[in-house]
Structure 1
Amino acid sequence: MVWKWIAGIALACSMLPAGVGFAGDIEGSSDHPVLGRFPTATIRAYEVREFDAAILPAGRIDDGEAPGELLEVEGKVTRIGYRIAGKHSALEVMRNYEHALSQAGFETLFACGNHEDCGIDMMAFISNSGRIRPPGFGDAFFGETAERALLASRSDADGNVHIFLHVIEDTANKRTVLYQQVVEAAVLETDQVKVLQADELERSLKRQGHVAVPGVYFDTGKAEVEPESEAALAEMAKLLEAYPELRVYVVGHTDNVGSLDSNVALSQARAAAVAGALSGSYGIDGARLIAKGVASLVPVTSNADETGRSRNRRVELVAQ
């Protein structure tokens, strides 16, 4: 994907080049390649997701529980929280970004220039709708905050790019805070998970005494089985119906994020939820199912990165 880099714009304070890490940034972070940073800015919150949904304000927000106009887009999502040291107003920062985006061919979809125009719940909505908490939001006072927001987009050969910016003056700490979301068009790889058929589950159980069942989904930190798990549950039920003498442990596994005690409880609750779904929705005799949670004690690979952690979060059937 080819981007127009934004650098060297002749304003009072020009944007610094994109795609570069700076001293003071949190480890592993960098600017997004499409958009540079304001001088004196450091990255204090950072997240990149190869495919995710982002809910971007496209109008004022007066009620975070029932927000008004929103734009929900999917793709590669980069979320960055900057702290800008020095006496730089929200207006100065946003004008620089507006100019840079205009020069790069972005069209403004929504903009607000003060706390009243943005809506009384704009900050609360942003803080609660993303997966990272923008730095400084907890320190800023509504009555003393200068606030500006901007939603812009550009269409490229590879698809749409959306950028949302929110700037506040954190007067309590004498700094300016910028929250940036960039959503790039991305193709979702839908063939990464295969639901094992009942006969494949049976062969693995017979050969090795246990089998991991892909396609069982839970929300982060939760134990409710997601509706997308139906296909995997159905194959487990077919297996148990085809072999009425078979008794299994339903074993829940987690990664090592969080305390061992909390992960033991979570994995136990998830295993129980799967066993409950098999007996409650598919009529499998509950006496044939024993739920056990083992947390992160039996990993299949390292928990050092998200790829490994995602493999370790799983549900297994183990022959009794």
Structure 2
Amino acid sequence: MTARPLFALLLCAAAPFAFSQMPPKDTVSGAKDHPLLSRFEGAKLVGYQVKEFDEAVLPAGKRVADKNGQPAFEQTLTLEGKHTRIAYVFPKERSSLEVMRNYQAALDKAGFKTVFACAKENCGSAFGEFWNEKRVSDNFIQGGEIAYAPFNYGRMEPRYLLAKGATKDGRPVHALVYTVAPVQDKNGGLYLEVVEGKAMEGGKVSANLDAAAMAKGIAAEGKVAVYGVYFDTGKSDVKPESKAALGEMAKLLQQDGKLKVYVVGHTDNQGVLAQNVDLSQKRAEAVIKALAADYKVDAKRLSAKGVASYAPVASNDADAGRQLNRRVELVKQ
């Protein structure tokens, strides 16, 4: 047998000990805990990503085989909104059960309801493999083997929780917690995802109807929806990004001096209905004010009406539909 160098033997002996140590500090610069879910005491942050608006597919059922024999989940939720992903390692002296119970208690206290939860073999076959491949891979985890080892070694003993709640203003929030147990003298792994339902920021790309297209819409249907008028959430001040749409609305009215329209404000169904009625009314009035002040359109030809979510053009169950429902319409008087 070939003798191994002494330094190699020492390295092999030291490696398990090194991987059992906690990182001395967070390994991702500029990262921070989510305001909804703080870190478990003593944990170190080792993975971080925030998307202001993105699609997220969250497991909501056991890991099973599909009809083709391929790994799949019994159910998933496809969500849109602000998407935050955070990974931690926690000390080996703590169990994944203790970590999960703490998060469950915190979410319960915040009014969240469990959508799906599982532990170990009840999560289905290769449940931990999915998370290692798709969420906590070594491309996401920063800090080398000391940060990644807990997720790799502990993947056979997972615990999972998906819960749904709401913000104070009624927007949906989903939170998932995935933990793996400290095994083989390694630390434990903790992974969080939070998807906050929110409207995508508009005004990034312009594709507004021009005056001619608006005129055709009114001639054909007696109304036309305008999506290029922007407001901050809960506000009624017309944003500067609305200039192009307002200009085309003004051109429409200037080209046809006899045309009188109702300016109708619409919202989605998020929040309190009475407040949305008031908000949509104020937004419609703000559009008329802008047309009169900035484009010299006779305000007597315009009449404001706010109808909140009473006339949707799409389902309010998904954000894509809610975006379509948030609009200003010109309706021929």
Flag the structure with more relative contact order, 1 or 2, with Cα contacts below 8 A and sequence separation at least 6. 2
Q: Over alpha carbons, which structure has the higher Rg?
A: 2
Which protein is richer in helix relative to its size?
Answer: 2
Q: Give the TM-score normalised by structure 1.
A: 0.49
